[in-house]
Amino acid sequence: MRRTGRMMPNLTHFAVATALIALPATAFAQTIDVAALRDAALKDELAWDITEGLTTEVGPRLAGTEAEARARAWAVKKLTALGFSNVRDEPFDMKTWVRGAETLEVLAPFPQPLRLTALGNSGATPATGLEGEIVYFTDLAALQAASEGSLKGKIAFVSHAMTRTQDGSQYGAYGAVRRSGPATAAAKGAAGILIRSVGTDYHRNPHAGGTGFPDGVKPIPAAALSIPDAEQLERILKRGQPVKVRLTLTPRQIGTTKSGNVIAEVPGSDPAAGLVVVACHLDSWDLGTGAFDDATGCGIVAAAAKRVMEAGTPRRTIRILWAGAEEVGIFGGKAYFDAHQGEKHALAAESDFGADRVWRVDFKLPDSAKAVSERVASALAPLGIARGRTPAGGGADIAALIASGVAGIDLQQDGTRYFDLHHTPDDTLDKVDPVQLRQNVAAWTAMLAVVANAPEEIGSTK
């Protein structure tokens, strides 16, 4: 494959020059008017239709549950009706956790209920609740610094204020409290742990999300308070009296169930040119209907693929991957990689950061395909999208592909309000801005039209 790339280095300039000239399709390049496709996509209705349909006719679809299975059936039917090829559900087994009751009562000094939600993989309290005194930590480092055994019988509360950013980059640092805080507290003997939701809104909506416990550490009840509730608990603690609470969480591990990846294709004219995978995830957290996370992503990639398909057979096969079980451990992405890593992948991209406008494009392409990135960047510029300097890393479901050397393009979405909605009950259809959603479809259509039809070889980045 790399050899083929070396055979046609001069084709890159040729492709730029001919991109807008109507020529008969060849095995190398379907010549299409990228700008016209892009601009037509600014009137797209399909991404909305998919988002509306999935969120209305399925709603919440927690990985491994019957609701996610209904989402897969819905997806197969929808993608088939849209005219895609080779539509199928590729099932895999997973260990599944489901939510139970979840309440928190402050018992003293100021009795009142607070709102929270269990973190994925949280342990359970007795059905009648667990009573304990709160031990407050300002951040994860403070919790980590607590001495062994100092939390015995106590309920840790870790607060921290994530900041709103356009690129969502605070999620890495502040998400750590959710990902590793519970295991840390458990190791120190805590009976339970509460965290301030990893989010930026001020509504009574806690943010769900996964946590984990290493082998040998028994899971403890672990939950996120909504941000107004976390600040309320901080105010109560600041009065200086011991704060006693009753925490009730009754989630369950229900054993092994099925999830699956739904796949559909636009067959290309040149099987040797490698696949272009465009991904999203079909599962959602269970509190909202997963509109922003990630029905819109599925709508965007499918709408773009359909537009490129309708412009004529592309050189490369476009493979749509609506991954299962992303939220709870990227199980779908792993299953896809295990099953398909042996196939030739030219490029992968994923839409999984809401549906606000794309503002930046990042690339990870081999040097031989430098001209492809230039043509993509040129096609995106009229949409207000600048070229970034960060190497593309892919969304979670394609990260293993990218890490293995498959080229990637990240169409970075504006995340300013993403963490207002992320994993909350508020992630519902009404939050989607149809105008920004269409800009996403236009960006993806332009990118996909260029990449799927690029005459250049797109080989490994390694």
For residue 212, state whether it binds a second copy (rule: CB under 8 A). Answer: no
For residue 117, state whether it binds a second copy (rule: CB under 8 A). Answer: no
The backbone torsions φ and ψ at residue 250, rounded to the nearest 5 degrees and listed phi first, read: -125, 50
Among 7, 152, 169, 202, binds a second copy (CB under 8 A): 202
The backbone torsions φ and ψ at residue 459, rounded to the nearest 5 degrees and listed phi first, read: -95, -165
Report, in Å, the least distance between residue 83 CB and a second copy. Answer: 23
Residue with tokens 């465009």: 278
Q: How far apart, in whole angstroms, are the C-alpha atoms of residue 382 and residue 257? A: 46
For residue 289, state whether it binds a second copy (rule: CB under 8 A). Answer: yes
Among the listed ranges 156-164, 192-200, 227-235, 359-367, the one in contact with a second copy (CB under 8 A) is 227-235
CB of 203 or CB of 340, closer to a second copy = 203
For residue 315, state whether it binds a second copy (rule: CB under 8 A). Answer: no
Report, in Å, the least distance between residue 425 CB and a second copy. Answer: 4
CB of 53 or CB of 267, closer to a second copy = 53
Among 33, 39, 52, 93, binds a second copy (CB under 8 A): 52
Residue count, binding to a second copy (CB under 8 A): 36
For residue 110, state whether it binds a second copy (rule: CB under 8 A). Answer: yes
Among 88, 95, 179, 204, binds a second copy (CB under 8 A): 204
Both structure tokens of 352: 């999984």
Query: For residues 69-98, which are near a second copy according to CB under 8 A?
Result: 70
CB of 324 or CB of 425, closer to a second copy = 425
For residue 45, state whether it binds a second copy (rule: CB under 8 A). Answer: no
Tell me the HSE value of 370 on the side-chain side, using a 13 A CA sphere: 6
Among 88, 95, 164, 203, binds a second copy (CB under 8 A): 203
CB of 54 or CB of 335, closer to a second copy = 54
Report, in Å, the least distance between residue 400 CB and a second copy. Answer: 32
Query: For residues 386-445, which are near a second copy according to CB under 8 A?
Result: 424-426, 428-431
CB of 36 or CB of 254, closer to a second copy = 254
CB 388 within 8 A of CB 360: yes
Adjacency order of strands within the sheet including 192-196: 112-114, 102-108, 244-249, 130-137, 155-158, 192-196, 222-225, 116-118
CB of 206 or CB of 394, closer to a second copy = 206
Q: How far apart, in whole angstroms, are the C-alpha atoms of residue 203 and residue 37? A: 40
CB of 59 or CB of 393, closer to a second copy = 59
Q: How far apart, in whole angstroms, are the C-alpha atoms of residue 189 and residue 337? A: 38
For residue 111, state whether it binds a second copy (rule: CB under 8 A). Answer: yes
CB of 206 or CB of 219, closer to a second copy = 206
For residue 115, state whether it binds a second copy (rule: CB under 8 A). Answer: yes
For residue 163, state whether it binds a second copy (rule: CB under 8 A). Answer: no
For residue 244, state whether it binds a second copy (rule: CB under 8 A). Answer: no
CB of 111 or CB of 153, closer to a second copy = 111
Residues engaged in binding a second copy (CB under 8 A): 52, 55-60, 67, 70, 106, 109-113, 115, 202-205, 227-228, 231-232, 235-236, 239, 288-289, 424-426, 428-431
